[in-house]
Structure formats: structure tokens, C-alpha cells
Amino acid sequence: MNTFAFVTRKDEHSAALAEQIRQRLTAAGYTETDSPETVFVIGGDGTFLYAVHQYLEQLEHVTFYGLHTGTLGFCTDYRESDLEEFLQVFLDGKTEEVRLPLLESISASGRTYAVNEIRIENAARTQVMEIYINGEKFETYRGTGMCVCTQLGSTAYNRSLRGAVLAEGLPVIELCEISGIHHSRYRSLGSPLVLKNTAEIEFRAESFRGALLGSDNDVLSMDDIQRVTVRMSPGRSVRVRRGRRISYFERLKTLF
Ligand code: NAP
Ligand code: MN
């Protein structure tokens, strides 16, 4: 069964491209369904994140194949000017499957997953929290929040926080402060910390009232939570179709 679906950015241009792709796939005998083998992602990196979250419960059954409208993305290998190649490589079965790791958070509210980052952010008041790494107390932190990102997510929010960009292929995660307050009473590292991807980071607070737990584009209230553990998910990952290899530095150059 050759089945597909679309996740398309909400602009006319992306919609028109999706329509073109739909016609070509249909003519080649493919069927559009709600439980597809391939999800065509037409838009930006934000669209890719949205697509993964939409299919979170079916990740083992779908692969994502992306066309970036605009600049070159971190989650996709093709721009719209490459539409012909994008389609031909797919129809010829010449794409290769790669897996992207997911971060996961575990708390009393359940589990969340993220491609880019999981963050705790409190815009309502100063957040105090204890940070444990692999069960060992690391620091007491005070500030707006903390961000844990994947290698892929290092160029997203993490980069705005002055976290290090992590080159493709590094099996690590990065912990970065969001406006940490540093003075004699509360001591925290202050600089980004890169850890092995096997690390487990636990955040504990007397109260997270007012804070949000963000997982890419999803957020949930932390009002009823006192602990959250963040780690690479041992169970879930994202299957992505790649048709060609783009140099990481070529992607990086699109950011500035
Ligand atoms: P969005 O508008 O879809 O994404 C925000 C911007 O981040 C877009 O320009 C997007 O690129 C870019 N982006 C996403 N993932 C990236 C990656 N891995 N590397 C480089 N750039 C990336 O906003 P949203 O729907 O809220 O998406 C949530 C994401 O936005 C979060 O995962 C977070 O990383 C990012 N974010 C950033 C900040 C910040 O930098 N201050 C604040 C909040 C959230 P496209 O234009 O290609 O879609
Ligand atoms: Mn976007």
C-alpha cells in the first residue's frame, strides 16, 4: 500500500505546492489517507515539528519527507526549487531512512516528547529549582527557566539563549539557562552544559506554579508538578526520509 498525507504550512504558496505533489503522487498510484506510510511536510522547520507532534502516537508507522518553502531547513533537505528532484527520488524509491532521536519528559502529568527542546519557563515569577544530573545534585538555580535541547534543536531556542550550536552527528544533549540570576545566595553554572545523550536531568521545586513545560510547540501548565525528569527517549524516535546529503555547514549558513 502506497499511502501518504500532508502537513502543510498555512500559506497559499505551501498549499499550492502540496496540491502539485498530491497530483503527481495520485497519478503514480498513491492514495491519500489518515494513517499514511509517508507524511509529506511542506513548510518550515516549525511545520516539521508540528507534523511530528501530530503523529506522536504513530511514529513507528510513518516516515516524514520534507520540502522547505523558503530557506534550507534543519529538518528537510529540499527547497521548493528542488521540487522535481524531491518527487523523482521518492517515486524511484531512492530515499534512505534515518532516525532522529526525541527528548522525553516524565512527570506526574505524564510524558511529553520533543524534537528540538524541552524547557521549563516561568514568566510569572522567579523560579527556584534544584537540578540533579544522573541522580546527583548539581545546583540550585534561580531565574526564568531552563532549556534542554537535542543536537538538532541546538540551532533553535537554544541558540537564542547563547547555547552552543552542536554539529550534526554529536550524541549529546545540552542544558542552558533562561535568564539565570547569579548572586551570592543562589549559585548556578551560568554557562551552557553539554552532556552525553544518556544523561538524565531532573528538575525539582517546592512549586512550579506559573511555569510552563514546553516541548517544541506544545506547552502544559506545571502548577501541579514538583518534579520533571528529562532524557533522550529510549522508546520513541522519528523516521525521516532523506534523498540527498546536505552539508551541515550549508544549513548553518542559512541562519545568519
Ligand atoms: P515557529 O515559528 O514554528 O518556529 C520559530 C522559528 O524557529 C522558525 O523560524 C523556525 O524555522 C525556527 N526553527 C525551528 N526549529 C529549528 C531548528 N531545529 N533549527 C533552526 N531553526 C529552527 O514557532 P513554534 O511553532 O512556536 O515552534 C516552536 C519552536 O520555536 C521551538 O522548538 C523553539 O526552538 C522555537 N522557539 C524559539 C524561541 C527563540 O528563539 N527565542 C522562542 C520560542 C520558541 P522555520 O521558519 O523554518 O519554521
Ligand atoms: Mn515556522
pLDDT tens, per residue, the chain with 256 residues: 699 999 999 999 999 999 999 999 999 999 999 999 999 999 999 999 999 999 999 999 999 999 999 788 898 889 989 999 999 999 999 999 999 999 999 999 999 999 999 999 999 999 999 999 999 999 999 999 999 999 999 999 999 999 999 999 999 999 999 999 998 878 899 999 999 999 999 999 999 999 999 999 999 999 999 999 999 999 999 999 998 888 999 999 988 8
Same domain, 60 and 125: no
- Expressed as residue numbers, the domain containing 80 is 3-94
Q: What residue ranges line ligand 1, CB within 6 angstroms? A: 44-46, 49, 73-74, 116-117, 152-153, 155-157, 160, 216-217
Domain count, the chain: 2
Which three-class secondary structure string do you get for the chain? CCEEEEEECCCHHHHHHHHHHHHHHHHCCCEECCCCCEEEEEECHHHHHHHHHHCHHHCCCCEEEEEECCCCCCCCCEEHHHHHHHHHHHHCCCCEEEEEEEEEEEECCEEEEECCEEEEEECCCCEEEEEEECCEEEEEEEEEEEEEECCHHHHCHHHHCCCCCCCCCCCEEEEEEEEECCECCECCCCCCEEEECCCCEEEECCCCCCEEEEECCEEEECCCCCEEEEEEEEEEEEEEEECCCCCHHHHHHCCC
Same domain, 220 and 117: yes
Q: How far is the CA of 73 from the centre of ligand 1 (A)?
A: 11
Same domain, 120 and 229: yes
Q: How far is the CA of 157 from the centre of ligand 1 (A)?
A: 7
State the pLDDT at residue 141: 97
Ligand in closest contact with the CA of 119: 1
CATH number at residue 203: 2.60.200.30
The residues annotated as belonging to the active site are: 45
Q: Whose CA is nearest to atom 35 of ligand 1?
A: 157
Same domain, 159 and 83: no
Q: Is 246 within the bounds of a domain? A: no
Same domain, 126 and 80: no
Q: Is 47 within the bounds of a domain? A: yes
Q: Is 256 within the bounds of a domain? A: no
State the pLDDT at residue 256: 86
pTM: 0.96
State the pLDDT at residue 111: 97
State the pLDDT at residue 205: 98
**Where is the domain boundary, 45, 64, 94?**
94
Ligand in closest contact with the CA of 161: 1
Q: How far is the CA of 215 from the centre of ligand 1 (A)?
A: 12
Q: Whose CA is nearest to atom 44 of ligand 1?
A: 157
CATH number at residue 13: 3.40.50.10330
Same domain, 16 and 62: yes
State the pLDDT at residue 1: 67
